[in-house]
Amino acid sequence: MVWFFIIGITLLAALMVLYEWPRMKSIRKREKSTFIILVVMEWLLAIVLLFYPNLPSPVQMLETVFQPLSKILLK
């Protein structure tokens, strides 16, 4: 069952690249490579979240870091 989701996520990422790539003809090489890197990172994050759905979000990390600061500021 998980493999169907992996295939679906991969197809969506590939379709996104195939849709956007022809529109990027006049764009520089650096921006194209940035686009590919972002798509690969998004794909990896989706796969990791598929296998580990209970991972804490970045917002939870920020709350942990800044919660003591908010207590100090609200006094």
To the nearest whole percent, how much of the chain has pLDDT over 70?
A: 100
pTM above 0.85, yes or no: no
For the cut 80, the answer to whether the pLDDT of residue 65 exceeds it is yes
CB 6 within 8 A of CB 47: yes
Domain count, the chain: 1
For the cut 90, the answer to whether the pLDDT of residue 74 exceeds it is no
16-43 residue pLDDT tens: 999 999 888 888 899 999 999 999 999 9
For residue 21, give its domain range: 2-73
